[in-house]
Structure 1
């Protein structure tokens, strides 16, 4: 850990420089803020936020530096802000892991100005082992994303922003509410008390209290000043999905899976009315500005407008073809917009009770919608993992924002309409700039998750397999796509190549494997036989046989000369997700959702022994080049190194925070690289079991591969982005 003296010295330096008002001192501060070693030291000792504030200082003295220098500072500051949730881990662990260098290169490589390139050159001179991006594959500055907030341990379901726009409050399936500082991205405090997930939050107009609804069937009113529960309301018989407050904050109205809404007196702490009429769970509720009506949305496909004085339904709005998940009211109280499981949004007139606009474009359920303060735009979030910004004048999509790796559950907008904050099942909140943006970067990759990558024996090309049902062949020197292979009718889960690199074999959820000629780009033949999706495939060292694994709980051994099944290996009690073959071609190792690995004889088809130890599904397995050890990765967040001679686990590698999806080994068997749903690649020393370094992507990383030179690393993300990296300092 850095000493208090070290921290104080750097803090004093920053404070001294902060008082500079003349050209000399401003130029000196500019030089420091474009120096990689100063940036790394400050992040390591004080964290990202004090560094971000240093850039604000110089930006306020913009008349003393050139436009080009100012632009450089803005780019670096925005990059540090984008990466701050990742850099925080270095500070917590008190270690320099190379994350800063990787984040700077991954986000700034597209910018060719001399100042940026000089910073990149400094970053590459690190002495430690690290994964160096070769292409700009991370979200760049000047894009829509401003900041990512992390801290919740489960799905985030609900979100509000305080009236001053400085704090956000979120509720999660981890049973807590978190209050965030939107300027720094830090959690100010956590509110704990619910016994189940928090689904909904509404903020009192004074910004001092908040009410939450939970799967524990209760509502809680919290003081944001004392951080205590002021009162608890019980009355629903099932989960509470939504809550809203009347403008005077005297009443709350809640919506539930029990198909009812309840109107509560917050002063008397009692039920005033129960609103009955929906025939399925109620998902959303808003209250009109006059406080006299409420509008609810339900899985019964309708919206209902209620009289809050009598509890009667005034009228019903019908038109959606599936459940209504979300509602937002226009500021004039005359129109409402709803989002549905039918993938559309509808704008309704509350005066004529008609649909004014239908907004189509999302490819999955719409879970969240807000209306901009000027009433001209709406922003929606969907299970398709995107945000869409719509014109409410034309009904057209203005632009699409991507970045979340899982369903978007809720979103809100700041009072000035310039920023949106979204929350997702990926456990993050993201702050977006809604003003027009321009970036230099067009991401390289597929249009959906990448599930497998393999490199040719000469190290010149790679082949990736994707959920978008295509294979892509890449030139490793340039990172460009050479051509695509199209033929499967469903997700492609894996790809491998023959030893001569002339043929590729792909495995798909369409239950087939395809053998491709990489010279003619044609399908040579299709392998049929599995009764469920095929999850993995490998080729024997002699190139004559392929072994596939399937969710039908079997492995099949195929002749690559005839396309016929030679024999089937049965024995797992659940789907088989991964397979590897030993270098001598005599044995195959499979990993399954039954939490075990099995070692099979390819001569007799018998199980030689079973490797037990993982506590969850086994997703990946590889064998060392000497055939003596295997390394497996699991949903239990660990990797295990096994002796293939004794069948025993030698040691366990623990550092990932989520499922381990894939692992690759260098040809000298000295290091392994693993990837995970925690969005990281980790490099391991196989002699000590120690993690050497880590690279943090933007989303869950599904697959990784090491080129024959043991330096080039490729990794594929769940959103289709491909990372080209170099392992330096090994």
Structure 2
């Protein structure tokens, strides 16, 4: 009988405040959004708390979602668009808090996103050098723009003078302007600063700011009415930061003025104020006046006069220096990965700027402008840090994860310190400063913890007080591993100094000198923190210290000292190579030590006598674990293999190729022979140690998985990764079989093959269509490149349509056979009556056909319509492209009956258009398709016209309501709107 296992699934993830991606505000400035690996985190601006996270739904193949690379908010609706590393784009709604649609059109990571001013269009650019324009309301791709030879870095819609254009910047050092009506490039501008990294257009659609690889910010004048030279260079301004540009964005100040923000790739972010037209002209006149005063020194020769005249003409024109005034320069302590300006929240409210730092933290600054006309630019603006969000995650990657004995706390270590988390909610309970922690364990009682550091120290931490109780210099090299003794008397530590040391718990009463020294250090820290407090605080502190000294002299040594937890060294075992991992068997009899020479030595714990030597790995063992019954030892090595050993004779039961990179952590599920492994390939795997089978692949981390801890009941697993995130994988009640998981992995491989097929370059075919470069996979004969791409979801949607068509044709044949059988019965009855001399009578037999339960009681036509309407709008185009011509012809035959009933006219028009675009050549050569196309021509026109008439009537009614409300002075008065509806209702009733 096939054995079933219980599935582990991702239950929660935490620890990542912001990954190295973009950050943006919503249109009201109430929330700001950050990319937290594959999630989009929503933060409340006032409370600085995490409100919600947008989690992408699981894929059909079970493939984990990739991390978010770009975020942008809609200017008019409560929607945000998030681009992912796998080329997909998801639209999230802030009202429904759900994914509204998914676009798949790129073959690589999304690098740029931008909504149009109306929010109806969304432009996306990716590392595949392509730009795709999407219709957000119709949930479909419109077209693809190709022309850049480098990664698309930024996009901006140019919608001045009613023209629909799009500006794009790329790493190929070009800025291109695209005409969205003709879908062609109308201008190409070479950027002299190198690679173009960011660009943005101002609110008046007259200026385009471009940030490149140098330290200058270039400004272009936008001539929307021009056909070719849309952009005209206006010069540049020198930036303080020497690094390349990361983000360039225009924003509005509370007084209505425009601000321009440039975030560099380093630590500097600059904000300029855009002068008004009058101020810019005034600045230009001053510059002209200064130039004339300097130029009156004498005449130059005729050869230099022409060049000087050209320079004078250039200086006489309005430039970027005249329009931009630097008002703020913000220097952060760490590199800035993204920045965003908040929309104004009030008339005199200061501007706010959020910075996403590279060390997994956020900073919010307030920029308050004073009377800049009467003061210097440096003193006219006050920049202050409002808040910093850094308690929700580590500053660097996580190196060790440990669960408490009751599974109520999880401890994680990194270069920046130790954090204690609630594994159920993901909330940070404590943050304790420490060294570079490489390993850790909880002390019995779960009130203290021990951390082994890279400096060779063992640090004892008091969890309740969030302090470090003691620090013992235990080894001369990094402490790579510590393991608790089963009897709870102490632990064992292994280090790179080739020593394994045994430690015992001890209580130590601190001496008077130690406590005095601690108080002096604390007082000195207080003095440093309160230096700006004035002399009164210092005097009070001196009096307080004198009082403490007097009380100490008076009481002597009678005051009791509270004992503190400490450790005492008991034994040392010296090895021949560096110790990488140590483990003690659950019964405490055996001690396993992994060495740098790729062997594992097993000793008796009591006598430290040699027992076994396990060799077979080609590279050092990085992690190992012993089963609860003490019979199996699992070792994970840098050679990517997992080996399972028997501890009775030291034989290798099985060697398994576990990961595509080094195996970093191995852990058995308590009281079982199931085990988990984590590797540098970012995957956590679940194994059966008895059958030596891979059960599950848990994908979700976006980096190397360094550490892992299994709960005491085995109901969940916590993993820590190089991506600074912690994840909890929880055991569910859903059973699964190994064969099913193998099929899912094959499906994921099939999806990768689809991506490789879709990645083939497209060229023009001989019939005017678009085909692959090798001449296969014709897309159609219209010359239009589809905006989407083939995915497993689109293949499944096409299969569903084909299956519905087959089932409908089978059902129609069954109905025809039943009707033919009924006619034969009626004919027999008529013949029998005629022979009997009774004369012909009416046919009484009626064809009765039992409904097909698989079709949900629907007719064949209704069932096919239901299957087509269930396909997502973003996947419909690719699903139609994947249909064979015979199935497309059958689907085309159903359109006319559907249109006669007037059902889902918009969907049917889109399906008919797609079918004609894809199969036009074959339809023209098929005689049986001509009557269908002729009928569709009239039906489509009439149905679309009636739909337009209904929409026009509704728009006229809405306009009438608006005018009535405006005449009544109600503004948004609901009573006025209700009163305005009454005349329309009366007219409709009278017409009836």
Question: Alignment partner for residue 345 of structure 1, among 269, 279, 282?
Answer: 269
| CA positional deviation for 1:522 | 7.2
C-alpha distance 166-334 of structure 1, shift in aligned 2 (>3 A): closer
The residue number in structure 1 matching 2:593 is 547
Is the Cα contact below 8 Å between 1:222 and 1:228 reproduced in 2? Answer: yes
The residue number in structure 2 matching 1:592 is 637
C-alpha distance 271-506 of structure 1, shift in aligned 2 (>3 A): farther
For 2:505 and 2:201, how far apart are their aligned partners in 1? 61
The residue number in structure 1 matching 2:695 is 652
Is the Cα contact below 8 Å between 2:72 and 2:81 reproduced in 1? Answer: yes
| CA positional deviation for 1:287 | 1.7
Is structure 2 residue 90 aligned with structure 1 residue 173? Answer: no
For 2:708 and 2:728, how far apart are their aligned partners in 1? 11
For 1:227 and 1:286, how far apart are their aligned partners in 2? 25
For 1:254 and 1:511, how far apart are their aligned partners in 2? 58
Question: Alignment partner for residue 401 of structure 1, among 389, 392, 395?
Answer: 389
For 1:282 and 1:209, how far apart are their aligned partners in 2? 23
For 1:168 and 1:490, how far apart are their aligned partners in 2? 50
C-alpha distance 325-687 of structure 1, shift in aligned 2 (>3 A): closer
Is structure 2 residue 542 aligned with structure 1 residue 621? Answer: no
Question: Alignment partner for residue 686 of structure 2, among 625, 639, 659?
Answer: 639
| CA positional deviation for 1:378 | 0.5
- Which consecutive residues of structure 1, in runs of 5 or more, have no partner in the other structure? 1-81, 86-138, 409-440, 691-730
| CA positional deviation for 1:236 | 0.4
Is structure 2 residue 338 aligned with structure 1 residue 367? Answer: yes
C-alpha distance 468-280 of structure 1, shift in aligned 2 (>3 A): farther
For 1:369 and 1:391, how far apart are their aligned partners in 2? 12
Question: Alignment partner for residue 117 of structure 2, among 189, 194, 205?
Answer: 205
Is structure 2 residue 722 aligned with structure 1 residue 674? Answer: no
Q: Note the alpha carbon deviations across 1:119-175, whole angstroms, 9 max, x for none.
A: xxxxxxxxxxxxxxxxxxxx9x97622211111721212222223342112222232
Is structure 2 residue 54 aligned with structure 1 residue 149? Answer: yes
For 2:573 and 2:245, how far apart are their aligned partners in 1? 43
- Which consecutive residues of structure 2, in runs of 5 or more, have no partner in the other structure? 1-32, 37-43, 58-64, 223-229, 274-319, 369-381, 397-426, 509-565, 720-724, 739-992
| CA positional deviation for 1:376 | 1.8
C-alpha distance 385-196 of structure 1, shift in aligned 2 (>3 A): same
The residue number in structure 2 matching 1:17 is none
Is the Cα contact below 8 Å between 1:671 and 1:686 reproduced in 2? Answer: no
For 1:340 and 1:612, how far apart are their aligned partners in 2? 47
For 1:284 and 1:489, how far apart are their aligned partners in 2? 49
The residue number in structure 2 matching 1:336 is 260
Q: Note the alpha carbon deviations across 1:672-714, whole angstroms, 9 max, x for none.
A: 5422467224248999999xxxxxxxxxxxxxxxxxxxxxxxx
| CA positional deviation for 1:181 | 1.3
Q: Note the alpha carbon deviations across 1:388-422, whole angstroms, 9 max, x for none.
A: 111223333210124876999xxxxxxxxxxxxxx
C-alpha distance 398-638 of structure 1, shift in aligned 2 (>3 A): same
C-alpha distance 385-586 of structure 1, shift in aligned 2 (>3 A): same
C-alpha distance 191-608 of structure 1, shift in aligned 2 (>3 A): closer
Is the Cα contact below 8 Å between 2:493 and 2:501 reproduced in 1? Answer: yes
Is the Cα contact below 8 Å between 2:107 and 2:128 reproduced in 1? Answer: yes
The residue number in structure 2 matching 1:297 is 211
For 1:503 and 1:215, how far apart are their aligned partners in 2? 54
Question: Alignment partner for residue 496 of structure 1, among 450, 473, 483?
Answer: 483
The residue number in structure 2 matching 1:234 is 146
Tell me the C-alpha RMSD between the 2 structures. 5.2
Is the Cα contact below 8 Å between 2:594 and 2:622 reproduced in 1? Answer: no
Q: Note the alpha carbon deviations across 1:630-686, whole angstroms, 9 max, x for none.
A: 61323444311313xxxx4267256775598524364xxx74542246722424899
User: SS of 1:395's equivalent?
Assistant: strand
Question: Alignment partner for residue 156 of structure 2, among 233, 237, 244?
Answer: 244
The residue number in structure 2 matching 1:268 is 182
For 1:251 and 1:654, how far apart are their aligned partners in 2? 46
The residue number in structure 2 matching 1:580 is 625
The residue number in structure 2 matching 1:608 is 652
Is the Cα contact below 8 Å between 1:344 and 1:361 reproduced in 2? Answer: yes
**Greater alpha carbon shift after TM alignment, 330-339 vs 481-490:** 481-490
Is the Cα contact below 8 Å between 1:179 and 1:189 reproduced in 2? Answer: yes
User: SS of 2:205's equivalent?
Assistant: coil
Give matches, 1:351-430, under 5 Å. Answer: 351=321, 356-373=327-344, 376-393=351-368, 394-402=382-390
C-alpha distance 245-496 of structure 1, shift in aligned 2 (>3 A): same
Question: Alignment partner for residue 167 of structure 2, among 233, 238, 253?
Answer: 253
The residue number in structure 1 matching 2:813 is none
For 2:112 and 2:602, how far apart are their aligned partners in 1? 52
C-alpha distance 458-402 of structure 1, shift in aligned 2 (>3 A): closer
The number of aligned residues is 507
| CA positional deviation for 1:232 | 1.9
Q: Note the alpha carbon deviations across 1:27-58, whole angstroms, 9 max, x for none.
A: xxxxxxxxxxxxxxxxxxxxxxxxxxxxxxxx
| CA positional deviation for 1:217 | 1.2
Give matches, 1:88-237, under 5 Å. Answer: 144-151=49-56, 153-237=65-149
| CA positional deviation for 1:621 | 2.2
The residue number in structure 2 matching 1:414 is none
C-alpha distance 391-458 of structure 1, shift in aligned 2 (>3 A): closer
| CA positional deviation for 1:326 | 1.4
Greater Rg, structure 1 or structure 2?
2
Is the Cα contact below 8 Å between 1:370 and 1:380 reproduced in 2? Answer: no
| CA positional deviation for 1:591 | 0.9
Q: Note the alpha carbon deviations across 1:213-262, whole angstroms, 9 max, x for none.
A: 12221112211121222232111002112111235263321121223222
C-alpha distance 171-582 of structure 1, shift in aligned 2 (>3 A): closer
Q: Note the alpha carbon deviations across 1:508-532, whole angstroms, 9 max, x for none.
A: 999999987754657969999978x
The residue number in structure 1 matching 2:547 is none
Is the Cα contact below 8 Å between 2:667 and 2:677 reproduced in 1? Answer: no
C-alpha distance 683-239 of structure 1, shift in aligned 2 (>3 A): same
For 2:472 and 2:153, how far apart are their aligned partners in 1? 43
More helix by share: 2
Question: Alignment partner for residue 199 of structure 2, among 249, 263, 285?
Answer: 285
Is the Cα contact below 8 Å between 2:214 and 2:242 reproduced in 1? Answer: no
For 1:491 and 1:361, how far apart are their aligned partners in 2? 32
Is the Cα contact below 8 Å between 1:158 and 1:198 reproduced in 2? Answer: yes
More strand by share: 1
The residue number in structure 2 matching 1:483 is 469
TM-score, normalised on structure 2? 0.43
Give matches, 1:17-96, under 5 Å. Answer: none
For 2:86 and 2:336, how far apart are their aligned partners in 1? 23
Is the Cα contact below 8 Å between 1:549 and 1:579 reproduced in 2? Answer: no
| CA positional deviation for 1:307 | 4.3
For 2:197 and 2:175, how far apart are their aligned partners in 1? 10
For 1:227 and 1:516, how far apart are their aligned partners in 2? 64
For 1:259 and 1:504, how far apart are their aligned partners in 2? 60
Is the Cα contact below 8 Å between 1:672 and 1:685 reproduced in 2? Answer: no
TM-score, normalised on structure 1? 0.56
Is structure 2 residue 248 aligned with structure 1 residue 327? Answer: yes
Is the Cα contact below 8 Å between 1:632 and 1:641 reproduced in 2? Answer: no
